[in-house]
Amino acid sequence: MEKKHKIKGLIAAAFANYDQVGNIDLDGIPAMTEHLVRQGLRGIFICGTNGEGPSLSTAERMAVAERYIKAIDGRILSFVHVGHSSIAEAKRLAAHAESIGADYISAVSAFYFKPSSVENLVDAMAAIAAAAPNTPFYYYHIPAVTGLQIDMLHFLALAEQKIPTFHGIKYTAATLHEYQACLQYKEGKYDILFGYDELLLPALAVGATGAIGSTYNYAAPLYLEVIRRFEAGAHEAARNLHFEAVEMVQLLVKYGPIPVQRAIMKKIGLDLGQPRLPLTLLDEDNEQQLMTELEQSKFLDHVALYQ
């Protein structure tokens, strides 16, 4: 039985860059890429949730993907998210991603007219993947956003039959028992990348080797140290360091994940501009309170230390 190669390490789900009038800031992508390369990341996930892919036009998403692929220049892996509520647009994005040399593509489920069954979902993903027949495909499982709760083991069993390029799952859910079952499916046949940063350590404990997340944009070295300590058997030290990341993530819940993280990126010197509505930035008072709480939690010390 053929096993897919497994990606080891962290992949940052890059944020969208906008200029002062709300247009995509393509010229800011090289600086963002250099920052992410310096963080010690294995790859960049482009136009996903944090990249506000669903809020961008197809032309904008193509332009962003092109600029990232050029800036990455083969140094780390490129994942282009091509999911769309229009399967036709998703296929266009998939074909484009392959044409510009993306290492991988990934697609979330349609989130307006939702698939009615696992079979229906797999058929939709198969149609998207077929538009990039030479590029490995990951399904992007994020039920908290799509509202689509499905049996992922059933999905794996059907996907391997219908999607020749199927490589694995970007698993963004807290159901660690199912995550572990997907990791173990057919003796680890597929690559199951974990997507909840605040549960990285528990995911490592059940077998995760690769992960995609938003906080890796500015705190990857902290998480890489968690991984190093875990692999060295220093489990208490790994738990203590991981909890500092957990305390920070609790603030994302309190103030809003994307506004908080865009504020942190600005704090470290990468101003990403105003996100697209309905997303907004923190107001001045909330941003000041956020920074106070981050300083009290010592998290900013870790971010500053690793720049």
For 61-89, how does the pLDDT look when each residue is reduced to its tens digit (9 = 90+)? 999 999 999 999 999 999 999 999 999 99
Distance in angstroms (rounded) separating the CA atoms of residues 221 and 40: 7
Residue 125: is its pLDDT beyond 70? yes
142 has binding-site annotation: no
More confident residue, 299 or 234: 234
Structure confidence at residue 2 (pLDDT): 64
- SS3 per residue for the chain: CCCCCCCCEEEEECCCCECCCCCECHHHHHHHHHHHHHCCCCEEEECCCCCCHHHCCHHHHHHHHHHHHHHHCCCCEEEEECCCCCHHHHHHHHHHHHHCCCCEEEEECCCCCCCCCHHHHHHHHHHHHHCCCCCCEEEEECHHHHCCCCCHHHHHHHHHHHCCCEEEEEECCCCHHHHHHHHHCCCCCCEEEECCHHHHHHHHHCCCCEEEECCHHHHHHHHHHHHHHHHCCCHHHHHHHHHHHHHHHHHHHHHCHHHHHHHHHHHCCCCCCCCCCCCCCCCHHHHHHHHHHHHHHCHHHHHHHCC
- Is 236 part of a structural domain of the chain? no
Mean pLDDT of 224-241: 96
- Is 31 inside a domain boundary? yes
Residue 3 lies in a domain: no
Full residue range of the structural domain in which residue 51 is found = 9-221
Cα distance between residue 205 and residue 208, in whole Å: 7
* Mean pLDDT on 259-278: 92
Q: What is the pLDDT of residue 294?
A: 84
On the question of pLDDT at 299 being above 90, the answer is no
Instruction: Give 2 or 242, the one with higher predicted confidence.
Output: 242
Catalytic entry in 104, 138, 140, 218: 140
Examine the residue annotation and report whether 8 is marked as an active-site residue of this protein.
no
Residue 256 lies in a domain: no
Task: Check which CATH number belongs to the domain holding 150 and give it.
Answer: 3.20.20.70
**Does residue 94 lie within any of the structural domains?**
yes
Judged against a pLDDT cut of 70, whether residue 217 lies above it is answered with yes
- Length of the chain, in residues: 307
The larger pLDDT score, comparing residue 164 to residue 254, is at 164
With a cut of 60, say whether residue 190 has pLDDT above it: yes
pTM of the model: 0.95
Task: Give domain status of residue 237, yes or no.
Answer: no
Task: Provide the mean pLDDT of the chain.
Answer: 94
141 lies in a domain?
yes
Percent of the chain with pLDDT over 70: 97
Higher pLDDT, 166 or 255: 166
306: pLDDT confidence band, cut at 50, 70 and 90? very low
110: which 2 tokens? 């349609």
- Count the neighbouring beta carbons within 10 Å of the beta carbon of residue 280: 13
Tally of structural domains, the chain: 1
Give the model's confidence band at 250: pLDDT under 50 very low, under 70 low, under 90 confident, else very high.
confident
In a domain, 238, yes or no: no
259, two tokens: 């506004």
The yes-or-no answer on residue 171 being catalytic is: no
